Chains A and B, each alone.
Chain A
Amino acid sequence: MKRKNKKAFHGIFNVAFCGLVYLFLFLPISVIVVNSFNATTSKPYLSWKGFTFDWYVELWSNTSLLSAFGNTMIIALVSTILATIIGTLGAVGMYKYKFKGKGILNSLLYIPVVIPEIVLGISLLTIFSNVNIPRGMLTLILSHVTFCVPFVIFNVRARLDGYDNSIEEASMDLGANRIVTFFQVTLPVLAPGIGGGALLAFTLSIDDVIISYFVNGQTKTYPLKVMESIKSGVSPDVNALSTIILIGTIVLVVLTQSNLLKKKKEE
């Protein structure tokens, strides 16, 4: 059948094309994973000298790398929580209330999203140095909150677009005050948007190099540590840590996905 052949050909082409794209996306990652098992000890750690778990052991004694990773996690967690709270409140507030300067606020919101990160990074650096805030954890967290908040707001806002105002009125009609209504009605309905925004904020925060690079002071984050090590060749224990992180996130994704699937099935 001619028509069926054509369809089969399309099918093969589609699979091949997507396969190539996935290969492109995963190739460097496979390099990282493989090199984390590379027994070589000579810089720049490129040639293959056999399989070893040594780097995973070595990793535990590399305190500066581990503490940088710890910093990254602390910064990501704290800024995600702050950005999610500030962003959710802001999105709901901007949706519900009219106030002066709303238009300006709205435009300000787009700046961290569209402007090159380096511009945001250097502008934060100049202002922090001008008002003499010591650069470190505090400035890192403030900066991360700044570029994460708009993403939370957009995600929550997308959810608010389909939001039925009357459910809040119904809640108040049934005797709940504003605060109870917010926690009992508004928040649960917006939860998927908030969750999506928080996840995005977390992802952006742990991966951020450019902005952190300008506002970190002496504090090192994991990406900055990587940046430092690139000059001399990334040592395999960095690869080992990256591999652990990668596997951790994949496990997390698989768990949440299968949980979601289960929930869907139950429904």
Chain B
Amino acid sequence: MGNIVEIEGVNKIYGTNHVVKDLNLTVEEGEFLTLLGSSGCGKTTTLRMIAGFEEPTTGSIKVEGESIEEKEPFERNVNTVFQSYALFPHKTIYDNIAYGLKMKKVPKNEIKERVTEMMSLVQLEGFEKRYPSQLSGGQKQRVAIARALINRPRVLLLDEPLGALDLKLRKQMQLELKRLQKKLNITFIYVTHDQEEALTMSDRIAIMHDGVLDQLGTPTEIYESPATKFVATFIGETNIFDGTVSFVQDDQVQVMIENGFISGKGTNFKFGEYMTVSVRPEKMKYSDAPVDGFGITAVVKDYVYVGSVIKCIVSLPNGNELKIERLAGQKLPEIGSHIYPYWNIEDAVLIHSKENSIFEALDSIVLA
């Protein structure tokens, strides 16, 4: 599969606001790529630059190997599904969907054929003569998707398309969108702030944070080995420990934290380096006696039942809480009892901190 969209060194600056910082990203043909991040992280701006509604301050964007900066949105072979749907309120559903073809001056009978086909694909038969205001949120959503897809774009851009729907409908539409994407084999670039949505639908996820691409990878890669502390906390639930490396032997790393020490596996860690350890609740274990490589204790505070699993909330001496997840029905320690949390060292994700290591900090102090 070739690259269909190539974003190279793109920056977007509004006044003093640096929204997208030196972004490099390639999207492969036929993939479902999600731009994930919290609001204001630059994901929507990135999408809008691909669509042509915004121009990059610097850098280039190529679609199918061709630079598109000079092209107006109406000259680009990409289409957008808008967050607000942006259906034309004064046009019927039929005319909304036919709009793109009409602009391309496709013959009327072909338009009719393709609109009919598209409407059945998104299960909207019989709605031709209605107006957008007469449709429910989910139906409007389908119209918005149909209106974009009918143009057979090389890339479909979707800007939080499911944001306005209720949970149940959203789940259903997620599956439908995924089905459509596979069926039509069109590249989707999907913007969302919902990590669960991103994990279920995407082939790859690009996580953006403060205008920077933090990590690009498959859902599994992102979940299992987050590259930054932000990614670790943003995707799924996790327990975070900040500390400094106190001992390294081969790939085994011992980390000094506020309440003791913990262990994990990782490479390229130096003694004294400031870093972060992330452990998913389901990987957490506990014992009633100290475990080799771990020097922390905690008090069991509470249990929370979430369907088939139980979350055990334990508190470290400094008051920080950890979550330990267990399948329901397993034997659990009593509330108030002391435990020794630990984990298999390969289950911990060790993350280099963006901040200076203590050594570098010390160096600079000494130099000064």
Contact = CB atoms under 8 A, between A and B. Distances in A.
Interface of A: 1-4
Contacts of A1: 69-70
A3 B74 CA distance: 13
Interface in B51-82: 55, 69-70, 72
8 contacts: A1-B69, A1-B70, A2-B70, A3-B55, A3-B69, A3-B70, A3-B72, A4-B55
Given A2-B70, A3-B55, A4-B55, 5 more contacts: A1-B69, A1-B70, A3-B69, A3-B70, A3-B72
Contacts of B69: 1, 3
3 interchain residue pairs of minimum CB distance: A2-B70, A3-B70, A3-B55
Nearest to A7: B55
Contacts of A3: 55, 69-70, 72
A2 B72 CA distance: 11
B61 to A, nearest CB: 13
B58 to A, nearest CB: 12
Nearest to A2: B70
B220 to A, nearest CB: 41
A3 B49 CA distance: 14
A3 to B, nearest CB: 6
Chain B interface helix/strand/loop/mixed: loop
A3 B70 CA distance: 6
Contacts of A2: 70
Chain A interface helix/strand/loop/mixed: helix
Nearest to B55: A3
A3 B55 CA distance: 9
Nearest to A3: B70
A4 B70 CA distance: 9
Contacts of B55: 3-4
A4 B58 CA distance: 13
B70 to A, nearest CB: 5
Contacts of B70: 1-3
A93 to B, nearest CB: 31
A2 B70 CA distance: 7
A4 B56 CA distance: 12
A3 B71 CA distance: 8
A8 to B, nearest CB: 13
A5 B72 CA distance: 13
A94 B55 CA distance: 51
Nearest to A6: B72
Contacts of B72: 3
Contacts of A4: 55
Interface string B275-297: 00000000000000000000000
Residue among A1, A2, A3, A4 with the highest chain B CB neighbour number at 10 A = A3
B115 to A, nearest CB: 32
Nearest to B71: A3
A3 B72 CA distance: 8
Nearest to A4: B55
A4 B72 CA distance: 11
B294 to A, nearest CB: 51
A1 to B, nearest CB: 7
A107 to B, nearest CB: 28
A7 B70 CA distance: 12
A4 B55 CA distance: 9
Nearest to B52: A3
A96 to B, nearest CB: 28
A1 B55 CA distance: 11
A215 B70 CA distance: 65
A42 to B, nearest CB: 57
A2 to B, nearest CB: 5
A158 to B, nearest CB: 21
A223 B55 CA distance: 54
A177 B70 CA distance: 66
A22 to B, nearest CB: 27
A194 B69 CA distance: 50
A4 B69 CA distance: 10
A1 B69 CA distance: 9
A3 B69 CA distance: 8
A1 B58 CA distance: 12
A4 B57 CA distance: 11
A3 B73 CA distance: 11
B138 to A, nearest CB: 27
Interface in B68-111: 69-70, 72
A99 to B, nearest CB: 32
A7 to B, nearest CB: 9
A2 B69 CA distance: 10
A1 B71 CA distance: 11
A34 to B, nearest CB: 40
A162 B97 CA distance: 33
A2 B68 CA distance: 12
Interface in B258-287: none
A202 B70 CA distance: 52
A216 B72 CA distance: 61
